[in-house]
Amino acid sequence: METTDKMRVDVERSIQQSVEDISETIRALLAERGIFALNLISSPGSGKTTLIEALLSRYEGKGTVAVIEGDLETEIDADRIRKHGVNVLQINTRSGCHIQPIQLLNALRRMDLSDTRLLIVENVGNLVCPAEVPLGEDKRIVLLSVTEGDEKPLKYPLIFQTSDVLIITKTDLLPYVKFDMDRVRRAARIANPRIEIFELSAVTGEGVPAFLDRIESFGDAKRPRP
């Protein structure tokens, strides 16, 4: 029994090391090209794709954004993004509950990234599986819609611990749902005192410019000064 347990631990360590190694390969590839990368994580329906579309409107005509869409099946979200005229590639994970680093690396090697300055990865929709899997991103962003309930940072603390930014979405629906904004903020900051928090509504546009400004500042900070 002890031998079996040790073998299991050794295999798990080997798999984790492989994940981290591939993630570092992705990080190096993006750094070499001066690309700033975002990893968007949330439950299904929180507004990841809508937020990406808002972000793309800021960069419209610049041709510097590439998007990776992650879903179990279909290209529904990728088709939405293609309408904005940007470089987009769909990863279908089939039964996988998150994008694997090797899947992202293979996708990036298939894409023309020569003009890309911003890479947006929309991960598969859930708050659990992606939390432990780095993708070589510069910033990890977790989205939480007010329709999901205010207990999520308490029930799923790891994703808030490992994220740089929390975006509370669909704030236009606050009058119609039971959602304690202060509770979410407190719980998120207990999990991660350094997490930045934004509240926004893609429908009304409230809070969106402040978030987009912050994303631009992140990218500007990474790029070397002339």
- Tell me the per-residue pLDDT of 191-223, one tens digit each, with 9 for 90 and over: 999 999 999 999 999 999 999 999 989 887 676
* Rounded Cα gap, residues 136 and 138, in angstroms: 7
DSSP classification of residue 209 = H
Angle subtended by helix axes 2-33 and 101-110, to nearest 10: 30
Q: For the chain, what are the domain ranges?
A: 2-222
DSSP classification of residue 132 = G
Q: For position 17, what pLDDT does the model report? A: 63
**Among residues of the chain, what percentage have pLDDT more than 70?**
89
Q: Residue 65 forms beta bridges with which residues?
A: 118
SS (H, E, C) 171-185: HHHHHHCCCCHHHHH
Residue 226 has pLDDT above 80, yes or no: no
Q: For position 60, what pLDDT does the model report? A: 72
pTM: 0.89
Residue 134 has pLDDT above 50, yes or no: yes
DSSP classification of residue 131 = G
Q: Which two tokens stand for residue 62?
A: 């610049």
H or E element at residue 9: helix 2-33
SS (H, E, C) 63-105: CCEEEEEEECCCCHHHHHHHCCCCEEEEEECCCCCCCCHHHHH
Look up residue 73 and give its amino acid.
E
Q: Are 84 and 93 in contact (CB under 8 A)?
A: no
The CATH number of the structural domain formed by 2-222 is 3.40.50.300
